Amino acid sequence: MRIVLSGGGTGGHIYPAVAVARQLEAEEEPSAFLYIGGTRGLESKLVPQENLPFRAIDITGFRRSLSLDNVKTVMRFLKGVRESKKMLKEFKPDVVVGTGGYVCGPVVYAASKLGIPTLIHEQNAIPGLTNKFLSRYASTVAVSFEGTESAFPGGKRVIYTGNPRATTVSAANPKRGYASLGIPENSTVVLVVGGSRGAKAINEAMIGMAPLTKKEPNVHYVYVTGEPYFEDTRKQLREKLGSLPNWLHVVPYIHNMPEVLACTSLIVNRAGASFLAEITALGIPSVLIPSPNVTNNHQEANARQLEKAGASVVILEKDLTGESLYRSVSSITSNGELRRSMSEASRKLGKRDSAGVIVHELRRLAARK
């Protein structure tokens, strides 16, 4: 099968596309891929590292207020459509997959105009602007949260697939996670992370929480600061604590996140859709701190889905302090029954075969071509 993938801007759009590619490689022999991303997005760095052929177009997103920049964006969109049509005619894909972010707008639109079957995947509980626009042209719309199919009205085929990133983590080896952290196997790992580049508010809460942590049997806290915040966070922690205790591990970034998640007992994190797919696939209880700086406040909507199911505790950023974070974390780590019930609720929300469901739909679309 020949597949064009498109999606970008953040890892939350990129990694689901990569997960679909990996599932196709495992199930379809032979498979060929082309990833069309943006010149400015994270995909220009991440996708080549995944050994997927990559080509780029120059495209930006719309501003929500009237602006001259929006005129420039329209011009870039039209140019992107022309460039995408050229790439699609050269590659001749069976199906085009868009996983969100403004870059997939011209790619999926161009494919629909060329009569190529298309699938778009929405990771969030509240759809993004690009996917709302593309839903009028896509052959199939796939959603990550069960019950959100109604967000795409109009008679299109909308299916619940879950997030394909979940498939990637479900087979991860926890022993490798423990080993990479230097933590004894079967320890209780509390992972605190603010996203791939970190989050200032969460790092400040980490610093405030650290003096409240204490030596507990087999409990280890792992602070993932993000590269931009690492040196300053570590410096402030040392000033507060004198030296870092052996149960507190501070790192700038985790390159083997699936393996580390596989050994995690409780996670503190933002509420990006791909990360939620990963933790529910593994049944990890969570304390979620939605970013307030996202379109339509979609992270809070994502987080409330888990909270409603009993899988998570939600702290809004305006209420976040070191003390409030530690209270939430310790209430879970100190209560084995609560942690088990949250883990079970989390696992019930997970869809571990998400990538496989999407591949099945891609086969159906390719057969109709």
Instruction: Say if residue 135 carries a ligand binding annotation.
Output: no
- Residue 109 is classified by DSSP as H
Q: Which amino acid is at 82?
A: R
Burial class (CB in 10 A: 0-12, 13-18, 19+), 364: middle
Instruction: Say if residue 265 carries a ligand binding annotation.
Output: no
How many whole angstroms separate alpha carbon 138 and alpha carbon 24? Answer: 20
Instruction: Say if residue 299 carries a ligand binding annotation.
Output: yes
Instruction: Say if residue 11 carries a ligand binding annotation.
Output: yes
51: left (phi over 0), alpha (psi -120 to 50) or beta: left
Neighbouring residues of 128: CB distance < 8 A, sequence distance ≥ 6: 100, 101, 122, 295, 298
Instruction: Say if residue 10 carries a ligand binding annotation.
Output: yes
How many whole angstroms separate alpha carbon 249 and alpha carbon 182? Answer: 9
Pull the structure tokens for residue 257: 């996140």
Phi, psi of 178 (to 5 degrees): -60, -45
In this structure, are residues 310 and 286 in contact, taking their beta carbons and an 8 Å threshold?
Answer: no
Instruction: Say if residue 162 carries a ligand binding annotation.
Output: no
Name 96's bridge partners.
4, 118
Name 27's bridge partners.
none
How many whole angstroms separate alpha carbon 28 and alpha carbon 356? Answer: 11
CB atoms within 10 A of CB 341: 14
Residue with tokens 């570590």: 234
Peptide bond into 30 cis (omega under 30): yes
Instruction: Say if residue 196 carries a ligand binding annotation.
Output: yes
DSSP states of 71-102 as a string?
Answer: HHHHHHHHHHHHHHHHHHHHH--SEEEE-SST
Q: Per the annotation, where are the binding residues?
A: 10-12, 124, 196, 254, 299
Q: Per the annotation, where are the binding residues for UDP-N-acetyl-alpha-D-glucosamine?
A: 10-12, 124, 196, 254, 299
